[in-house]
Structure 1
Amino acid sequence: MELIKFENVEKSYKNGIKVIDNLNFTIHSEEFITLIGKSGCGKTTMLKLINGLIKPDSGKIFISGKEINQWDIIQLRRSIGYVIQQIGLFPHMSIEDNIGYVLNIKKVSKEERVKKASELIELVGLSSEYLKKYPRELSGGQNQRVGVARALASNPEIILMDEPFGAVDDITRRVLQEEILKLNEKLKKTVVFVTHDIDEAFRLGSRIVLFDKGKIVQQGNRKEMIFNPKNKFVEDFFGTKNFTAYLNVTLVKDVMMPAFEEKSIPRVNEESSLMEGIKILFNYGLDHIAVEDKTGKIVGMFSLKYIKDRI
């Protein structure tokens, strides 16, 4: 189902430079879209247009089948979750009150707000003891989780995320990426996620969209973006990192071949990355190894030749 639609949308700023140039683009329900491109290419502007924070100079934007101009703009913004890099938590409010902020504006009862905050804090991987704390008492990664919880409080169909993990360390970032994937698998939201990080775009996106100068240069899944670049800009943008990104974010279970009988053979877990599987192959000097699930049962075989044939 079409959820967000851009028709011939253009947007320029005061300097006259077009930041969105005749954009035609559709996002379907439950997609996880990652927007990637150089600074100033139009990614964040696109989020602001969806949220009604700015208006297009020309063209039309539709949300849930209704043109954005026909929406009550306050109602629209309250119905869309928004997570930014700076988090934007209110320092004078407890975590509980931060999570329930939009619900408070909507005149939801105190009892319901407390109940919702308790549910969401657990959902994003924090215990309820954090609800009475303040943002200054939490780490950057914990505050980002609270930011996600707040975005989910009003049960929005659409969640916009503008480089939400850009300010945390690499280890925390990886954990947060895994958490948001698990969370969205459970909640089935439509996510539009802006990032400058290629690995992050490939890891999270069901569809990756590469922007340049307000235009979509190429879009597709990670395999299409890596192995079928549309032009030299796409090749140059991803550079040599594109293939290593594919190896790091693609799981062994996605490319394994059917299992066959073999008495004694090294194994790799099906949730491991291709890079981890390749390392085991090289360490043992083999052309294939067994793939096991979390119970230790062999569920397939991993082979470089089979990967090449699949690609």
Structure 2
Amino acid sequence: MSTSGKLQVGLLFGGQSGEHEVSIRSAQAIARGLAGNAEKYQLCPFYIQKNGHWSEPELSAQVLATGQPVANETRRTSFQFPASAAAVDVWFPILHGPNGEDGTIQGLLRLMGKPFVGAGVLASAAGMDKIAMKTLFAAAELPQVRYLALTRGQWQSQTDHWLARVETELAYPCFVKPANLGSSVGIAKVRNRAQLQSALDSAASYDRRLIVEAGVTAREIECAVLGNEQAQASVLGEITYRSDFYDYETKYTEGLADLIIPAAVPEDLSQRLRKLAVQAFEAVDGAGLARVDFFYVEATGEVFINEINTMPGFTSTSMYPQLWEATGLSFTALVDRLVQLALAGD
């Protein structure tokens, strides 16, 4: 705790994933939220450069101010952090993607012996790995679309087998995804064999574990979850867009997607999805926060859980904070609640 009696909040952002710039934007919003709680918290920012170098708070504050990444500096020796990191009371790792929300940084923070916002190692790893996630959802008997999981080695050694299997068991259209990337990176919608082969080749360049999911004609509904042992679900939101699917550009470019909050769905469906969102959170052993995404097939009334995101974005276009705003929790109050949940869950 600082000499002023305020809790030192270590805001950890940037990172080595392809979502580096998104993390900076999320961190800017979190910093504003902490400023709204200035009587309780003192911001101590730590920017992780793309080469893994942990920047001092002074340079980190400059990145927050400009919103621009900096050129890589000389890399520190492994596990050598800025001296000011020792004064942090609670960490807020607003990192997205691999080496950010996949359990790696969570394990490091656990070893450092300080509480941190968000899920622990298990939930973070399961939330990032789509195959592990789907396995846990299946064990919890949560409804999911049909899918096939394979490795890069299986794809490269048995190409014709997997092409035929996808066509037989899933059919077109279907979605090809790397198992361990977020924000729609490396995902492709395919409608024929040539596209399928190209998409699997591309996905294999990102990750050694791959997944192919059956396509469904559905509305995309999202729900925010907040809490530890007694998690609560927000009102629902719906994403609409004009692109072929909700890809990276659509997700993070203002004006390309519309967020409808609250989603115009029947009340019984709303209650069902909110219950399923909490069940998904519990299935992966979530903590702090998560956003759960669903497919709602309006023609049949079917719902399928798509995925859980254990560290959702906090940018101006992000659904998570907007869902809580619509539920009655302001952004400043949300940030405060997340820090308090971190302290309570340690």
Q: Same fold (TM over 0.5)?
A: no
Relative to the length of structure 2, the TM-score reads 0.25
TM score, norm. by length of structure 1: 0.27
